[in-house]
């Protein structure tokens, strides 16, 4: 477990995936479980982290922004950065540190296949050479002690004494004062401050002069001649003209080898769609797949309706990102005069007033919908349990086949890369081996029923006024109708009926059993979990229940009588077809779409977005603790839970 010191407002999404290890933002609480420390944000947190690392003799990891998004994603398509530099030997910005990158460049032998793979990306990002007579001097932010000022003076004088003044361009794209900005105030030298012009300037430069700026590395990748007056990480390998020699750097490297070692051995990357570890080639496939997407401003105002006050704290962390602002107005009238092209509407499920739809139509905006994900919690949602997964849908919602949902769009169009399918296979394996499902609140027990010699069919009960029945079913819309239909076609089968847990717990209205239900099935199971029932069954017959998806994960034959999200893709036997669903999917593709790409996952203990894999690990741990301590668990009334969540929301966001 990696302990992280940083300001609460700067916690980084998917840190678990970057480290490929569990993380905690409460290092003091888990100090005996820590395997390393990292810190960022300001000097106070960094010193706290280093102090604890020294005290416990743990490795300290420096983390810095990666370079992949600058290199390959000029549209900045995604909400979060998907690359990070992690180093337990120091920072690439400090030439006195013998970093892991320097050690790799000195020692690693690169496999020919990997070099070939890296060249595909290198060729993708390398532009055709265009050369001007420009000599570009790259500025850096002015430091408190001005320790680099003499070096910048030397660099400027060298350029002025060697090249025509009208060919010298100073690149200084930050708002703060820079060394060259200061030195060139009275010089007849052009200063370029536009970020948009910076790439073109570097791309066409004859030579690029740097002290230690990362821009020199980007210039190298564009085959520019780079002159180093300091000791950046890319100097000393035979690729740059160096004013200072570093005796530690002993190996000569090609530009492709430098590129490969940096991006395939050193930098950590995650899939921007799933938050799972990946590589640059996979990210480029994803970007290419999205390159025709309409680029919208990330600065959004999200107006949320139909979400009870106590539940707002459940929704906020799944919707919040660095660019948007979230509001929970009481009425549409409150936002009529504030709503504009940068505004969005969000509702829970289909619980929106009519005037929300009218506002959406007026501005030609979709109504975004949010609902529970498919691996949600340990405990029922109706028991006011925190959701670890929610699905945010910009097109419809997964249980309504009457219109295209974002999940259906993903399953129809998404390019599922090799890594994504491998992740899906591993996720499925972990779910099945640990017997996980949506709520994980029932005991896993082996069933012992008098079914010998018969085909066993599981029929999961549903809440009959549930939205998935209202929108997803045509002719069969009740549990009794479903059981009768199943029995009619399977006279000799042993049929198990499993009432919905919300009905059994009496959190929602409905019958656990009745004469009609008893006559149509052989056994009604109310104790063992739905997973126990799936494991015992040969087939699952359902209207739209998520149990059908759980059964597919466990290689069971599934019959659908409505139109759930997992039907129509060639994996189920369907009473009704949806003409839009023409693609035939593998099970791993369905899992990748439904569990990795579509839902969002949130770690409530650390207060950050995480991957599906991390939430699965957390829920396994919580489920096991719940059943190990079942006798000691204190049942808190739902009303008190709601009061607690409401108070927390009011304290933190008002």
- Would you state the structure tokens that stand for residue 276, as one six-digit string? 């799972």
Q: Which residue has the tokens 């042993």?
A: 494
What's residue 505's pLDDT?
67
Q: Which residue has the tokens 């009208």?
A: 166
What's residue 221's pLDDT?
92
Q: Is the pLDDT of residue 327 over 90?
A: yes
Residues 6 or more apart in contact with residue 614 via CB below 8 angstroms: 16, 17, 22, 601, 603
CA atoms in the 13 A half-sphere facing the CB of 563: 22
What's residue 354's pLDDT?
83
CA distances from 511 to 29, 517, 560, 562 (A): 46, 9, 22, 20
pLDDT in tens, 108-147: 999 999 999 999 999 988 876 677 889 999 998 877 666 7
Rounded Cα–Cα distance for residues 35 and 60 (Å): 10
- DSSP state letters, 184-221: TTTSS-EEE--HHHHHHHHHH-SEEEESS-THHHHHHH
Mean pLDDT confidence for 302-326: 91
CB 140 within 8 A of CB 179: yes
Mean pLDDT confidence for 425-435: 97
What's residue 65's pLDDT?
92
496 strand-pairing partners: 458, 523
How many other C-beta atoms lie within 10 A of the C-beta of residue 175?
Answer: 8
pLDDT in tens, 258-268: 999 999 999 99
What's residue 74's pLDDT?
61
> What are the start-end ranges of the H helices in 326-417?
354-363, 406-413
Query: Quick one: pLDDT band at residue 213, thresholds 50, 70, 90?
Result: very high
What's residue 508's pLDDT?
57
What's residue 31's pLDDT?
93
What's residue 176's pLDDT?
72
What's residue 582's pLDDT?
94
Question: In 3D, which of 390, 470, 429 has the Cα closest to residue 554?
Answer: 429
- Domains of the chain are 2-107 (no CATH), 123-269 (3.40.50), 441-603 (3.40.50)
Rounded Cα–Cα distance for residues 339 and 360 (Å): 10
* H or E segment to which residue 567 belongs: none
Residues 6 or more apart in contact with residue 588 via CB below 8 angstroms: 416, 421, 424, 425, 428
Average pLDDT, the chain: 91
Q: Is the pLDDT of residue 56 over 70?
A: yes
pLDDT in tens, 58-89: 999 999 999 998 888 766 778 788 999 999 99
**How would you class 414 by CB atoms within 10 Å of its CB: exposed for 0-12, middle for 13-18, buried for 19 or more?**
buried
pTM for this one?
0.89
- Would you state the structure tokens that stand for residue 79, as one six-digit string? 């909400």
Q: Is the pLDDT of residue 204 over 60?
A: yes
What's residue 457's pLDDT?
98
Q: Give pairs for 429-432: CB < 8 Å, separation 24+.
A: 430/613, 430/616, 430/620, 431/375, 431/553, 431/616, 432/553, 432/554
Query: Is the model more confident about 334 or about 174?
Result: 334
Q: Is the pLDDT of residue 38 over 80?
A: yes
Report the chain's terminal Cα–Cα distance, integer Å: 34
Query: Is the model more confident about 235 or about 508?
Result: 235
* H or E segment to which residue 524 belongs: strand 523-524
Query: Quick one: pLDDT band at residue 159, thresholds 50, 70, 90?
Result: very high
Query: Quick one: pLDDT band at residue 503, thresholds 50, 70, 90?
Result: confident
DSSP state of 332: G
CA distances from 180 to 139, 162, 224, 244 (A): 6, 17, 21, 20
Query: Quick one: pLDDT band at residue 181, thresholds 50, 70, 90?
Result: confident
Q: Is the pLDDT of residue 294 over 80?
A: no
Mean pLDDT confidence for 180-204: 83
pLDDT in tens, 380-415: 888 889 999 999 999 999 999 999 999 999 999 999
Q: Is the pLDDT of residue 547 over 70?
A: yes
What's residue 347's pLDDT?
95
């Amino acid at each position: 477990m990696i302990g992280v010191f940083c300001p609460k407002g700067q916690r980084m999404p998917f840190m678990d995936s970057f480290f490929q290890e569990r993380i905690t933002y409460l290092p003091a609480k888990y100090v005996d479980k820590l395997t390393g420390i990292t810190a960022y944000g300001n000097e106070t947190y960094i010193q706290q982290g280093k102090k604890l690392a020294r005290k416990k003799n743990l490795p300290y990891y420096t983390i810095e922004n990666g370079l992949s998004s600058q290199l390959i994603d000029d549209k900045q398509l995604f909400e979060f950065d998907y690359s990070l530099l992690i180093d337990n030997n120091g920072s690439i910005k400090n030439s006195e540190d013998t970093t892991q990158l320097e050690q790799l460049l000195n020692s690693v032998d690169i496999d020919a296949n990997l070099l070939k793979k890296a060249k595909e990306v290198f060729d993708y990002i390398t532009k055709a050479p265009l050369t001007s007579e420009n000599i570009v001097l790259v500025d850096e932010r002015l430091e408190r002690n001005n320790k680099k000022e003499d070096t910048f003076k030397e660099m400027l004088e060298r350029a002025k004494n060697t090249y025509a003044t009208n060919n010298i361009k100073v690149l200084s794209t930050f708002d703060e004062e820079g060394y060259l900005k200061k030195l060139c105030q009275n010089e007849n030298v052009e200063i370029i401050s536009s970020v948009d012009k910076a790439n073109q300037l570097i791309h066409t430069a004859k030579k690029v002069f740097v002290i230690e700026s990362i821009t020199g590395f980007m210039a190298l990748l564009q085959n520019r001649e780079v002159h180093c007056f300091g000791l950046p990480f890319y100097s000393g390998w035979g690729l740059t003209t160096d004013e200072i020699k570093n005796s530690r750097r002993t190996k000569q490297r090609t530009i492709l080898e430098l590129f490969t070692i940096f991006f395939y051995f050193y930098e950590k990357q995650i899939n921007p769609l799933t938050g799972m570890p990946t590589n640059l080639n996979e990210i480029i496939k994803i970007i290419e797949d999205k390159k025709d997407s309409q680029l919208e401003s990330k600065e959004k105002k999200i107006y949320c309706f139909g979400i009870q006050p106590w539940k707002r704290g459940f929704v906020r962390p799944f919707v919040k990102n660095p660019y948007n602002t979230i509001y929970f107005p009481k009425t549409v009238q409150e936002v009529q005069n504030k709503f504009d092209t940068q505004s969005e509407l969000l509702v829970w499920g289909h619980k929106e007033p009519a005037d929300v739809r009218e506002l959406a139509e007026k501005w030609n905006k979709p109504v975004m919908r949010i609902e529970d994900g498919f691996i949600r919690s340990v405990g029922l949602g109706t028991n006011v349990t925190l959701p670890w997964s929610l699905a945010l849908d910009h097109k419809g919602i997964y249980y309504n086949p009457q219109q295209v949902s974002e999940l259906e769009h993903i399953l129809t169009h998404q390019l599922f890369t090799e890594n994504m399918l491998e992740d899906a296979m591993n996720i499925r394996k972990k779910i099945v081996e640990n017997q996980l499902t949506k709520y994980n609140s029932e005991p896993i027990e082996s069933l012992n029923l008098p079914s010998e010699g018969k085909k066993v069919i599981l029929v999961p009960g549903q809440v009959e006024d549930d939205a998935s029945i209202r929108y997803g079913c045509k002719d069969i819309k009740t549990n009794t109708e479903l059981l009768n239909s199943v029995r009619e076609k399977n006279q000799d089968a042993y049929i198990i009926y499993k009432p919905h847990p919300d009905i059994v717990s009496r959190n929602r209205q409905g019958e656990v059993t009745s004469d009609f239900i008893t006559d149509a099935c052989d056994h009604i199971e109310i104790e063992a979990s739905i997973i126990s029932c799936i494991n015992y069954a040969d087939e699952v017959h359902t209207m739209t229940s998520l149990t059908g998806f759980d059964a597919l994960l466990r290689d069971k034959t599934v019959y659908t009588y409505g139109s759930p999200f997992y039907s129509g893709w060639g994996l189920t036997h369907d009473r009704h077809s949806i003409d839009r669903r023409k693609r035939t999917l593998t099970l791993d593709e369905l899992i990748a779409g439904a569990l990795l790409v579509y839902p969002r996952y949130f770690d409530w203990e650390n207060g950050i977005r995480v991957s599906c894999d991390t939430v699965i690990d957390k829920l396994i741990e919580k489920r096991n603790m719940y059943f190990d301590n079942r006798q000691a668990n204190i049942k808190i009334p739902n009303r008190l839970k709601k009061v607690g969540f409401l108070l927390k929301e009011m304290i933190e966001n008002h």
